[in-house]
Chains A and B, each alone.
Chain A
Amino acid sequence: MLHKNSTLSYCLQSTKIHCLLLVFAHTVREFFFYRKEYKLFYQKILLICLFIPFLNESMSFLGDEQFEGGNKEKRHREKRRDGSKDRRKRANAKRRERSRADRENEEFEERLGKREKGRRGRVKNDQEAKKRDEQDSEDKENSEDKEVKPESLSPDELEKLKEAVDEKKKLIQSLRGKPWPMKKKLVTLQETLRIQSHDDQDFENFKTACIPWEMKIKEIESHFGSSVASYFIFLRWMYGINMILFGLTFGLVMVPEALMGRPYGSIPRKTVPRAEEASAMDFAVLWDFGGYAQYSVLFYGFYSNQRAIGWLKFRMPLSYFLVGVGTVAYSYMVVIRTMARNANESGVGDDNSFNFSWKMFTSWDYLIGNPETADNKFASITTCFKEAILEEQESRKDDNIHLTRFLRVLANFLVLCCLAGSGYLIYFVVRRSQKFALDGFENHTWWERNEVNMVMSLLGMFCPMLFDVISTLENYHPRVALQWQLGRIFALFLGNLYTFIIALMDEINVKREEENIVKFNITMWEASLYNGTVSENFTASPITIHPADVPRGPCWETMVGQEFVRLIISDTMTTYITLLIGDFLRAVLVRFLNHCWCWDLEAGFPSYSEFDVSGNVLGLIFNQGMIWMGAFYAPCLPALNVLRLHVSMYLQCWAVMCCNVPQERVFKASGSNNFYMAMLLVILFLSTLPNIYTIVTIPPSFDCGPFSGKNRMFDVIHETLESDFPAWFSKVFSYASNPGLVLPFILLMVLAIYYLQSTSKSYKEANVELKKKLQMVIQIMKIILLLPTTVNNWRNNNASFQGQEGEILLPKSRQLENESYSCLIIQTYCLRRKERVTFFSKKTYDNEVKKKSFPVVFSF
């Protein structure tokens, strides 16, 4: 019977809703067509009168919708959740009285109701707003409710409701009997201010929800601590940078060429050569970035050197060059700006005086209403405490300075030996492989052919572990140890970089020599072509030859681009596979083999892996270095990297939560951010060097790329200045680039840097001084304010103390800088209150006062 009732009521309500919709539509139409004041007013009243009666009923069957933290507009959700809580409560209460079967029916109706709700949308919003307004009986303008304004409601109605509510509230308050006269005003003001702060809060929540992956990172932070979370924050920041780089290259280089340049197959450089055509579509070739992938906008070689393309007269070569320079410049700017901002933030002093107490009493957020969030919060509180405990322990450690120093020097020496050894090994191996290359690769065994790669991989695997072992000698704070580890592995990987660049340079040289040969061959070939036809008239229309048949010079830039892309891809694959095998497989094995193994796998040997912050960070940084190096020759690299980072984020987040355990010693990663930035800056600098070298010294290929035909790549700038800008501009520029002008300018900049640095140093010192003074003042205030209460407490608790009346004992603290001054203040104050103050030096205090077991009244 109840079931029938509910369906009936549902039908009733749906009809009511439909009527409402009609009226509403009618109102809107009238409004737009007639715009007459009285009509509007009348229609509003009509709407409201229709809304009010069935509001109460309709809320119930909306009941229990679960709004998960999703991508719905938070603001809307917040309002809904608060409003719907009431309804939910009511629905819950009603449900408790029904049987389970009825409940299922209810849910079915709810789902229908949800669909209704979706259709109703805006109207529902208005209804809720109206309902809340009714309940709160405020005549405040509800910002969500744009259609109907509550103030145009008859004021009398509102007043009456308000009075009724006020009376009730007064009744409630007076029952309690607490003397809070302001309370009544506060309660009535509560609702108005609550709505306003609601909006602010909602907007803040919305803004937070907009930051990508924020919830994921918060979850990781609560379980694993801030150092692991700092890696993910760094990853997210990198993703942002790569997005912008991608935007630049895609929008200004790839798209114009694709849309406005000559299509595929029109000129020789854009076509797959006849010889390769057969295999151009094979997956293996494509995966290796040959075939069709090579002759596309993805690589340097595709771009034609036309000065201006399309109807926009887009200067393609200029744009290519400037985008290349611009990506580097933008990256520099962003990295340096972030470093400066981090440095500023860390300079802000934090009041550490009540660290632990605050953690204990204010860390639980009473607003949490969700079990998952509660779990996260518990985990984060625990982690927070562990971090603070670690900091405390580290600061308490006082060990033998000399032993520590000796051990550290020893460790550094060992590491240096290691690095030198590996450096020499790499150099040796590269030399050998160069020799092998000259002999031709076929003569050597597989090992000798791949020697360089194998040596690099092996070094990369074992040296970090060695460094880890050595670092246990040093006994640093974990954060500092991490930085040292990062630095050392960085030095190791520089060797990697070195071999790669050497190999590339060799190949470039080989290609360039090939080019000369091909150039020669082409002239011969062209001559042979024209041999058959009239030889004198070279201005005659050239014989149409299919572009695929034209002999092509080797394009070293495309080759370089391809190498970079291949490197990035293989790097990515290696990372993912090691992640899956090293972490996931290991975790699965440990979990399932544990039942049937002799010793406890989880506690003992393999156990679950910890998240390797240093390895991952370095991988990320080196990857970015590769991108910066290769982006000039392969415009597709930033796009590839965006994809890679996106996948990485999700994969690593999942892997961390699923397969890793938190470290034993969880530490706060406050300073790490700037450290990562510093390394990034170094890599950025190192990766722009080879690029600058190639741009300035090596002439571009003669038949591929946007700079073909020029002597040097940067000639395009010169050309643009001469032809595109008015004459006076180029004159000015030529004067400005006079060495006599440039050198003094550089000198001036160096002097400016020096001056700014010295002023900033002096500001920092002044800052520290002021902080100290502030601390002193705070301490004095503490004494002065608490003196009466502490004295009273002391007297109350120690009635039997046989000391002299009114004597207060204060030990001189070594923290008080200007001791005489502060002692004077305290004495004056106490004299005013007719208390006597005696100052003891710490020694006297330790020896005599303590022995006599005087209770210490106050201590700093």
Chain B
Amino acid sequence: LRLFYRYRDLAPQLVPLDYTKEPDVKLPYELIGSMPELKDNPFRQRIAEVFSEDGEGNMSLDDFLDMFSVLSEMAPRDLKAYYAFKIYDFNNDDFLCKSDLEKTLSKLTRGELSEDEVKMVCEKVMDEADMDNDGRLSLEDFQHMIVRAPDFLSTFHIRI
């Protein structure tokens, strides 16, 4: 219920209070991206794109709820890992290739690292996580690596 109010607050003129008639309302990405929880997140665009139906970042109430339920405390680890994989997959090819990693890194450090450093880090990540040695990370590789991380659950979590 709280989530619904939050959704509505983003654009009260668009969202009706009464949802029993199942209206087809989508909020554009700009409104979602301006929420205080997501405002400072470097991956907010990717998050919105992953959870929206049309892939552009325009979210309906269901998408909105889905997003926050996955990012909440109670979501199971595998579900979170699955969605995290999708978020970090910039070109939507179901694999994390080198360019995806580079983009992730540049978003994380806001371009502070030099070219060599970026390359080195991506190589290291590939070495560590790529189990089948095909030069890119599949979902299994990613999940295998992330479920062992001690703080994945606590960082991949938005409280609302």
- A interface residues (Cβ-Cβ under 8 A, vs B): 82, 85-86, 89-90, 92-93, 135-136, 165, 168-169, 171-172, 175-176, 183, 186-187, 189-190, 193-194, 197, 351, 353-358, 360-371, 373-374, 378, 381-382, 385-386, 388-389, 392, 786, 789-790, 793-794, 797, 855-859
In contact, B109 and A382 (Cβ under 8 angstroms)? yes
Q: Which of B108, B129, B145, B157 contacts A381 (CB 8 A)?
A: B108
Q: How many Å lie between the Cα of A761 and that of B8 in the bound state?
A: 64
Q: How many Å lie between the Cα of A848 and that of B38 in the bound state?
A: 53
User: What sequence of 0s and 1s flags, for each residue 147-158 of chain B, a beta carbon within 8 Å of any chain A beta carbon?
Assistant: 011011001111
Q: How many Å lie between the Cα of A183 and that of B69 in the bound state?
A: 9
Contacts of A175 in B (CB 8 A): 22, 62
User: What sequence of 0s and 1s flags, for each residue 122-136 of chain B, a beta carbon within 8 Å of any chain A beta carbon?
Assistant: 001100110111100
7 pairs of residues in contact across A and B, judged by CB atoms under 8 Å? A135-B1, A186-B74, A190-B74, A193-B73, A360-B125, A364-B108, A789-B132
Q: Which of A90, A171, A366 contacts B71 (CB 8 A)?
A: A366
Q: Does chain A have a CB within 8 A of B65?
A: yes
Determine the residue in chain A with the shortest Cβ distance to B22.
A175
Contacts of A793 in B (CB 8 A): 132, 134, 138
Give chain A nearest CB distance to B90 CB in angstroms: 13
Q: How many Å lie between the Cα of A665 and that of B39 in the bound state?
A: 32
In contact, A360 and B108 (Cβ under 8 angstroms)? yes
In contact, A86 and B72 (Cβ under 8 angstroms)? no
Contacts of B108 in A (CB 8 A): 360, 363-364, 378, 381
Contacts of B20 in A (CB 8 A): 171
Q: Which of A190, A354, A790 contacts B148 (CB 8 A)?
A: A354
In contact, B128 and A353 (Cβ under 8 angstroms)? yes
User: What sequence of 0s and 1s flags, for each residue 18-50 of chain B, a beta carbon within 8 Å of any chain A beta carbon?
Assistant: 011010000000000000110111110000000
User: What sequence of 0s and 1s flags, for each residue 81-119 of chain B, a beta carbon within 8 Å of any chain A beta carbon?
Assistant: 000100010000000000001001100111011000100
In contact, B125 and A389 (Cβ under 8 angstroms)? no
Contacts of B121 in A (CB 8 A): 356, 360, 385, 388-389
In contact, A168 and B1 (Cβ under 8 angstroms)? yes
Determine the residue in chain B with the shortest Cβ distance to A168.
B1
Q: How many Å lie between the Cα of A789 and that of B71 in the bound state?
A: 28
Q: Which of A172, A789, A794 contacts B61 (CB 8 A)?
A: A172
Q: How many Å lie between the Cα of A190 and that of B61 in the bound state?
A: 19
Contacts of A378 in B (CB 8 A): 108-110, 112
Q: Which of B69, B128, B144, B155 contacts A364 (CB 8 A)?
A: B155
Q: Which of B1, B10, B140 contacts A165 (CB 8 A)?
A: B1
Give chain B nearest CB distance to A458 CB in angstroms: 40
In contact, B74 and A193 (Cβ under 8 angstroms)? yes
Q: Which of B22, B124, B148, B159 contacts A351 (CB 8 A)?
A: B148
Q: How many Å lie between the Cα of A183 and that of B110 in the bound state?
A: 37
Q: How many Å lie between the Cα of A92 and that of B142 in the bound state?
A: 40
Q: Which of B40, B144, B155 contacts A371 (CB 8 A)?
A: B40
Q: Does chain A have a CB within 8 A of B66?
A: yes
In contact, A89 and B9 (Cβ under 8 angstroms)? yes
Q: Is the interface of B mostly helix, strand, loop or mixed?
A: helix
Chain B: interface residue total (CB-CB under 8 A): 64
Q: How many Å lie between the Cα of A165 and that of B120 in the bound state?
A: 52
Q: Is the interface of A mostly helix, strand, loop or mixed?
A: helix
In contact, B61 and A356 (Cβ under 8 angstroms)? no
Which one of B1, B151, B158 has the greatest number of beta carbons of chain A within 10 Å? B1
Q: Does chain A have a CB within 8 A of B146?
A: yes
In contact, A354 and B2 (Cβ under 8 angstroms)? no
In contact, A86 and B5 (Cβ under 8 angstroms)? yes
In contact, B36 and A357 (Cβ under 8 angstroms)? no
Known: A135-B2, A793-B138. A362 touches B155 (CB 8 A): yes
In contact, B2 and A86 (Cβ under 8 angstroms)? yes
In contact, B125 and A357 (Cβ under 8 angstroms)? yes
Contacts of B61 in A (CB 8 A): 172
Q: How many Å lie between the Cα of A169 and that of B146 in the bound state?
A: 31
Q: Which of A186, A360, A389, A786 contacts B117 (CB 8 A)?
A: A389
Q: How many Å lie between the Cα of A713 and that of B64 in the bound state?
A: 78
Q: Which of A176, A364, A370 contacts B62 (CB 8 A)?
A: A176
Q: Which of A183, A356, A365 contacts B128 (CB 8 A)?
A: A356
Determine the residue in chain B with the shortest Cβ distance to A183.
B69
In contact, B158 and A367 (Cβ under 8 angstroms)? yes
Q: Does chain A have a CB within 8 A of B12?
A: yes
Contacts of A186 in B (CB 8 A): 74
Contacts of A365 in B (CB 8 A): 155
Give chain B nearest CB distance to A123 CB in angstroms: 23
Contacts of B9 in A (CB 8 A): 86, 89-90, 92-93
Which B residues from 52 to 88 make CB contacts under 8 A with A? Answer: 61-62, 65-66, 69, 71-74, 84, 88
In contact, B73 and A392 (Cβ under 8 angstroms)? no
Contacts of A364 in B (CB 8 A): 41-43, 108, 155
In contact, B113 and A385 (Cβ under 8 angstroms)? yes
Give chain B nearest CB distance to A775 CB in angstroms: 14
In contact, B149 and A360 (Cβ under 8 angstroms)? no
Known: A356-B125, A389-B121, A855-B133. A786 touches B144 (CB 8 A): yes
Query: Top 7 nearest A-B pairs by Cβ distance?
Result: A89-B9, A374-B40, A356-B124, A382-B112, A793-B132, A382-B109, A358-B149
Known: A362-B156, A366-B158, A382-B113. A354 touches B129 (CB 8 A): yes
In contact, B73 and A197 (Cβ under 8 angstroms)? yes
Determine the residue in chain B with the shortest Cβ distance to A858.
B131
Determine the residue in chain B with the shortest Cβ distance to A193.
B74
Q: How many Å lie between the Cα of A168 and that of B18 in the bound state?
A: 11
In contact, B40 and A370 (Cβ under 8 angstroms)? yes
Q: How many Å lie between the Cα of A176 and that of B145 in the bound state?
A: 30
In contact, B128 and A357 (Cβ under 8 angstroms)? yes
Q: Which of A136, A197, A354, A855 contacts B149 (CB 8 A)?
A: A354
In contact, B128 and A789 (Cβ under 8 angstroms)? no
Q: How many Å lie between the Cα of A190 and that of B159 in the bound state?
A: 12
Give chain B nearest CB distance to A640 CB in angstroms: 42
Give chain B nearest CB distance to A392 CB in angstroms: 7
Which one of B20, B71, B149 has the greatest number of beta carbons of chain A within 10 Å? B149
In contact, A361 and B1 (Cβ under 8 angstroms)? no
In contact, A360 and B157 (Cβ under 8 angstroms)? no
In contact, A385 and B117 (Cβ under 8 angstroms)? yes
Q: How many Å lie between the Cα of A360 and that of B42 in the bound state?
A: 13
Contacts of B133 in A (CB 8 A): 855-856, 859
Which one of A362, A373, A381, A857 has the greatest number of beta carbons of chain B within 10 Å? A362
Determine the residue in chain A with the shortest Cβ distance to B148.
A354
Q: How many Å lie between the Cα of A368 and that of B71 in the bound state?
A: 13
Additional pairs, 19, CB under 8 Å, beyond known A189-B74, A362-B149:
A86-B2, A89-B10, A90-B9, A135-B2, A136-B1, A176-B66, A193-B73, A354-B129, A357-B125, A358-B146, A360-B101, A361-B84, A361-B152, A362-B146, A364-B43, A367-B159, A369-B37, A374-B40, A793-B138
